[in-house]
Structure 1
Amino acid sequence: MADQLPYKPRAGEIPTNPGVYRFRDAGGRVLYVGKAKNLRQRLSNYFAPLHTLHERTRRMVTTASSVEWTVVPTDVDSLQLEYQWIKEFDPPFNVRYKDDKSYPFLAVTLGDEAPRVMVTRNRRIAGAKYFGPYPKIWAVRDTIDLMIKVFPIRTCSDASYKRAMQTGRPCFPGQIGKCGGPCSHRVTVAEHRAVVDDFIAFMNGGDERFTRELTARMKEAAAAMDYEQAAVYRDKLASIDAVLNKSALVLSDDAEADLFGIAEDELSAAVHHFVIRGGRVRGVHSTTIDKELDISGPELVDQILQRVYGDAAPADVPRRVLVPVLPPDVAELEEWLAAKRGRRVEIAVAQRGQRAELLRNATLNAQQALLRHKTRRTSDYASRTEALADLQEALGMTEAPLRIECFDISHLQGTNVVASMVVFEDGLPRKDQYRSFSIAETTDDTDSMHQVLTRRLAHLDRPEEAEPDAAELATSDEGEVVTGPARRRRFAYPPQLLIVDGGQPQVAAAARALEESGHTEIALCGIAKRLEELWLPGEDYPVILPRTSEALYLVQRLRDEAHRFAITHQRKRRKRDIRTVLSEVPGLGDARIRALLRHFGSVAALREGTIAQIEELPGIGPKLAATVFEHLHRDDGAEGGATAQPEDR
């Protein structure tokens, strides 16, 4: 592979102005759209030597056959043009958005003679005012039922409204008290429009004014001994309270903001969007994103804000946008949003107080959405079958890997080394087949991987029939032990594919273990964490699976499950070992052990402390402190299995 691209522009040809650029393939299809404050500086990054580029960036620039750019006057113009081109061309290497579901909205059809309130998923009703979206459709219907008791506006269909106005007979919802429009013949069109305006003001966050007014009217009616009217106002206040309880107050009463929680990995991201008006969450929205190129957190926020507000109406752009991290072009984005809103817009990071707590909640929802997005495919038989077939083709295997075993190493800065083995059969986890390994002595991760695989592969050479162990003994109805032919234990079943967590060094160590054990018929690959690429033994370049590949999602899940299982086992050992060391100290009970661990964090940090520092803890006198100190140092550091700053790998 040549180290330079044939379509690379000549030196000095690219301008230094702000602008937007497009990479195209040989057929003219736009592959990627990006913006830059300095086109020459930005594009030079793509034309660096190929071996220095991120794997996925290298795939994009080698797939492309040309690059073109458009100079614009300002950075804000480049932001707008980038959004328009991404929307127009839908480039495969830009981030791609998928709504995790279709959310219902509460809409008021302001374009009608008598506006109607309704539940809809259609965002294209001419002249409509939208509220939401809401996570549950019943929540919208409940809100409407409660609100028409306070603001009696039209709910009937257009056909019912037209018929009622022509015949002079109320519409059916109006007859049963479910519609308060002019079709009920209780109000005029002008009076109804005033009620609609009040309803919109309330939904926009003006609930305090209406609560205050209704309370005053209720008290006036009660003072005048008009108890029936006072009861009407009381019921309306109860309806308002019920609506407000469905949307808990999260910020100050006048807060108007959109808050975004984001969870991401190398290939995907999930966004959970809270719409806050009048200090309350008025709507939520969840979106999943496919990433092709390596994109940082700030750049992802930039893309998300462009997507959300690209076609937004001025009323939908809030005063403040709260994000987990500021985008790189925050000033230009603020200017762009301010132009849409007609007033100043602030983009800020939610760092403390109620905002930070709400961001944590949104991030948690985003993490759950990302997990659903990644695991949803595994629940479908067709998707699992496609994943196994794609993996077979990508790795050049002769058969689909129906049994896959994945291995990961975990340690505490080189000590307390353990390994995990997770098993997937037919694309599904078999947790009863998981195994963990303790590694007494090792030099590095590759040596650990070689040891573990050597031990695991040794079980494949056990004879089919062997003396059954206690777990394989059967019992007859009379209580006698029956020793029939031994069944082949599941641990002795050979996998079709071994996956190791790591790149070329780990794969080479695993390949050596396979060769030494004589099981070279088993396929092998490694998955590198950062780039999500598959490494095969003896290959100089990795296998890059498409981002939408079912096989990639399956391999990711295997890797993540192996990592989780290894970390869990390693932490259990760490906790047990630390407590074992301290429990050997005479006179040191559980309460004092817990106090020491809370104060020092680990045995290693405790060993570095002085007798005076140990003595500072309540309940530990000079004699006991000296005993602890002497016990931890008598073997000249032999107990050094932990360090002051634990780090799992």
Structure 2
Amino acid sequence: MPDPATYRPAPGTIPVEPGVYRFRDPHGRVIYVGKAKSLRSRLNSYFADLSGLAPRTRQMVRTAAGVEWTVVNTEVEALQLEYNWIKEFDPRFNVRYRDDKSYPVLAVTLNEEYPRLMVYRGARRKGVRYFGPYSHAWAIRETLDLLTRVFPARTCSAGVFKRHRQIDRPCLLGYIEKCSAPCVGRVTAEEHRQIVEDFCDFLAGKTDRLIRDMEQQMNQAAESLDFERAARLRDNIGAMKRAMEKQAVVFGDGTDADVVAFADDDLEAAVQVFHVRGGRVRGQRGWIVEKSGEPGESGQEHLVEQFLTQFYGDQAELDGAADTSLTPVPRQVLVPCLPGNAEELETWLSQLRGSRVSVRVPQRGDKRALAETVRRNAQDALNQHKLKRAGDFTARSAALQSIQESLGLADAPLRIECIDISHVQGTDVVASLVVFEDGLPRKSDYRHYAIREAAGEGRSDDVGSIAEVTRRRFHRHLHDLQEPTELAAQDNIAADAAPPAKPRKFAYPPNLFVVDGGAPQVNAAQAVLDDLGIGDVAVIGLAKRLEEVWVPSEPDPLIMPRNSEGLYLLQRVRDEAHRFAITYHRSKRSKRMTASALDSIRGLGEHRRKALVTHFGSVARLKEASVEEITAVPGIGVATAKAVLEALGVPSDSGAPEPGIDEDQSRASG
């Protein structure tokens, strides 16, 4: 582990101006990004007394191998640059307030011709409007059940919508009038979009106008003796009011604010946010994060600053994609305490919003009471997380220690990579590489490979494939090390220096490299590492039959106890690699088998097959096309188009060419 004294900048070389700094590890990875009013004061505090640092900060300083900085003009610029670098480099010692994917939202796909209402979890997308998040998915379904009586918008999937469009018959929701059935043309695309926009206006808080208009229509229907329509409107008004009652009124003055609260211990913090719009609680979010704890920063103030910077920076980037009633920034942000740079934060948030934003601590009344409620939620979330996390963290630590002791490693294998080969009798050979860090999968680093080389003489296909993948993976590692991503020569960057290159995920090796197989596979992987001159990576193989652990050049396997946490972790890694390889192999085989269906069509040569796939983008889209759409491809006639659909298992109901006109004549006339 590097000694901080070896990379400490020379006295007097650090500027006193405000700026943003980065710590890098020996492999050039950015592991921490911070900002400071005075770079000299802040950076010197990291090296003054390591025993006085927070545990996580002390670990970061000892992990780093260098520090560099960029000088800026104002603290607002420092806020923006810090946010950009944290988002770009994803440093392991920075707190990241990622969206909690366990909270469902109500999504409205405004980017489609016929927008759909649905329960959604996952990353936000442009052109989709979101409402929530809700605590439970059933709460969204209950809201939809009430409001689709009033706003009969489409809720079905694309496949269901297309199927009912083809059979020209609505689904059950269309028959019971909880869907306007745009699939069969009961309403036009413009009329359906208006229904959806009214639905969005209602959820965004524009309820009074909608209810007033509906009451006026009900009275007019009653005066016209259209009692059936009046009764239907009365029921719709009741459904809207019941949906409104489910959102508690917390502020009578129609306040728009986010109420933020924290509960923390020495290592972790729980964050809860209540989104209040129009005086009503419209959504709630929560995170559990590890504290970074910069020197000289009080815990709560630093947490508030980090949250406001990262959360609202991400929200501003989603402007236009998420619900505009919740994003990008509200008029008020109520926090438990004000950070030292509260004025700069207000200026930055106001720039994101485009109008004045106030950050303050509620002192009395309803806002103070709601802040206390949010704080209790945060404390409960932290307590539940600690109860759940204790067992998981202990098991992972025990597993890594067990592997270290069993294999005689110098350090615990914090990064484990595993490769697996998948094929069917030597065809469509593919490989997968999965990565586990701290005992947990890091899916952003997963890779898959299409095997290009034939197996070597005297070796099985798996052995040759293992050698090829190992060579490609570590050749990439060596190549990345030679690229100019290493530390700057004097461990700093001048204010006018060019921005650093984007970090490479594979510019550092794993602690443990696992192959799926026995002695031949392990020896093949080790031979490749020896050829490349890599000696700091431990290689083992895990055989499926008896779960034996094979070590290079050893005649007998290592048998780990069946109840060992280390063996269980290795099995998880191996099974994940197998799953990832099988998934890729199936997709590749499916494409090949589907493409082979086109090969069997008489009169369809290579150039026209390629033209079809290029025109539609994939064989799956080709299967969804009609005869008319296929004949739009140059060189494809009606008979060939029907033959293509029949070969793909899709019945064609389009009319045949006129009698007496063959395909070539039909194509020429078209």
* Rounded Cα–Cα distance in structure 1 between residues aligned with 2:105 and 2:3: 53
Shift of 1:184: 4.8
| Aligned match of 2:127 | 127
2:21 is paired with a residue whose SS is: strand
Shift of 1:157: 1.9
CA contact (8 A) 1:214 1:237 kept: yes
Which whole-Å deviations, capped at 9, do the CAs of 1:209-230 have from their partners, x for residues lacking one?
2222223333333344432222
| Aligned match of 1:356 | 368
Matches within 5 A, 1:105-116: 105-116=105-116
| Aligned match of 1:607 | none
Q: Does 1:16 align with 2:16?
A: yes
CA contact (8 A) 1:97 1:290 kept: no
Structure 2 gaps of 5+ residues are: 406-564, 566-670
Structure 1 residues 319-328 or 111-120, which shifts more? 319-328
* Rounded Cα–Cα distance in structure 2 between residues aligned with 1:384 and 1:3: 27
Which whole-Å deviations, capped at 9, do the CAs of 1:103-147 have from their partners, x for residues lacking one?
111000010111111111133444100011111100001111111
Against the structure 1 CA distance between its residues 54 and 115, is the aligned structure 2 distance closer, same or farther, given a 3 Å change threshold? closer
Shift of 1:70: 1.3
Shift of 1:181: 4.8
Question: What letter is aligned with 1:280?
Answer: R
| Aligned match of 1:188 | 188
Q: TM-score, normalised by structure 1?
A: 0.56
Q: Does 1:299 align with 2:297?
A: no
* Rounded Cα–Cα distance in structure 1 between residues aligned with 2:292 and 2:77: 25
| Aligned match of 2:426 | none
* Rounded Cα–Cα distance in structure 2 between residues aligned with 1:174 and 1:328: 57
Against the structure 1 CA distance between its residues 380 and 8, is the aligned structure 2 distance closer, same or farther, given a 3 Å change threshold? closer
Matches within 5 A, 1:98-497: 102-165=102-165, 168-252=168-252, 254-293=254-293, 296-312=299-315, 313-314=318-319, 315=324, 316=327, 317-378=329-390, 383=395, 386=398
Which whole-Å deviations, capped at 9, do the CAs of 1:38-84 have from their partners, x for residues lacking one?
22232232232445545554443233221100123432222122122
Question: What letter is aligned with 2:192?
Answer: H
2:272 is paired with a residue whose SS is: strand
* Rounded Cα–Cα distance in structure 2 between residues aligned with 1:259 and 1:377: 26
* Rounded Cα–Cα distance in structure 2 between residues aligned with 1:9 and 1:222: 83
CA contact (8 A) 2:254 2:280 kept: no
CA contact (8 A) 2:2 2:64 kept: no
* Rounded Cα–Cα distance in structure 1 between residues aligned with 2:358 and 2:27: 42
Question: What letter is aligned with 1:354?
Answer: D
Question: What letter is aligned with 1:251?
Answer: F
Between the two structures, name the one with larger relative contact order (CA 8 Å, sep ≥ 6): 2
Structure 1 residues 95-104 or 198-207, which shifts more? 95-104
CA contact (8 A) 2:257 2:331 kept: yes
Structure 1 residues 262-271 or 337-346, which shifts more? 337-346
* Rounded Cα–Cα distance in structure 1 between residues aligned with 2:66 and 2:392: 40
Question: What letter is aligned with 1:298?
Answer: E
1:269 is paired with a residue whose SS is: strand
CA contact (8 A) 2:97 2:307 kept: no
| Aligned match of 1:420 | none
CA contact (8 A) 1:377 1:383 kept: no
* Rounded Cα–Cα distance in structure 2 between residues aligned with 1:180 and 1:5: 71
* Rounded Cα–Cα distance in structure 1 between residues aligned with 2:394 and 2:266: 25
* Rounded Cα–Cα distance in structure 1 between residues aligned with 2:159 and 2:34: 49
Which has the larger Rg? 1
Considering only aligned residues, what root-mean-square deviation do their CA atoms show, in Å? 3.1
CA contact (8 A) 2:96 2:310 kept: no
* Rounded Cα–Cα distance in structure 2 between residues aligned with 1:166 and 1:177: 20
| Aligned match of 1:37 | 37
* Rounded Cα–Cα distance in structure 1 between residues aligned with 2:137 and 2:117: 14
* Rounded Cα–Cα distance in structure 1 between residues aligned with 2:144 and 2:3: 63
Q: Percent identity?
A: 51
CA contact (8 A) 1:3 1:51 kept: no
Question: What letter is aligned with 2:366?
Answer: Q
Shift of 1:236: 1.0
CA contact (8 A) 2:4 2:61 kept: no
Against the structure 1 CA distance between its residues 381 and 72, is the aligned structure 2 distance closer, same or farther, given a 3 Å change threshold? closer
Shift of 1:363: 0.9
Question: What letter is aligned with 2:300?
Answer: G
1:67 is paired with a residue whose SS is: strand
Question: What letter is aligned with 1:347?
Answer: V
Against the structure 1 CA distance between its residues 4 and 199, is the aligned structure 2 distance closer, same or farther, given a 3 Å change threshold? closer
* Rounded Cα–Cα distance in structure 2 between residues aligned with 1:382 and 1:87: 30
Matches within 5 A, 1:541-552: none
CA contact (8 A) 1:37 1:75 kept: yes
